[in-house]
Amino acid sequence: MKRFSIGLALSIVSISLTSCATIFSGNRQSVRVESVPAGARIEVNGIDYGTTPATISLKKSLDTPSILLRKEGYETKAFSPESTFNTVSILNIFFPAGFIVDAVTGAIKKYDPINYNITLDPARSASNR
């Protein structure tokens, strides 16, 4: 009976640590986007996310999202948020299959930094080209 209890306890711990980053930090993350001047349209992978300043929720994935800022009278500015390894994924050492889940959901990484302040350049007029 004692052996069964130990086995059951180890199984519960292993299952509870499966895909740790997905469970503890999720597959979405908030990122703050500000611009100078304010009021630029935010597009993430072609989808409108409102205007700056704004806190937007980005899906974590192995692909890095492309963010465009557009404002009349200014050049369109593109950037991609930087990402780093999500150290919570290290807990998957107890259940290696969790790494696969974290990788597929994107939870294996996190956006860092989470605040972006982008300066837009004035558009060049036709006479300046």
Q: What pLDDT score does 17 carry?
A: 47
Q: What pLDDT score does 92 carry?
A: 73
Q: What pLDDT score does 128 carry?
A: 53
- Decide if 22 contacts 107 (C-beta within 8 A): yes
Position of tokens 């959901």? 105
CATH of the domain at 67: 2.60.40
Number of domains in the chain: 1
Q: What angle do CA 89, 91, 96 make, to 5 degrees?
A: 80
Over its length of 129 residues, how does the chain's per-residue pLDDT go in tens digits? 667 667 656 555 555 445 566 666 678 999 999 999 999 999 999 999 999 999 999 998 888 899 999 999 999 999 999 998 888 777 777 777 777 787 788 888 889 999 999 999 999 875 555
Provide the domain limits for residue 74.
2-123
Query: Is residue 129 in a domain?
Result: no
* pTM of structure: 0.74
Query: Is residue 37 in a domain?
Result: yes
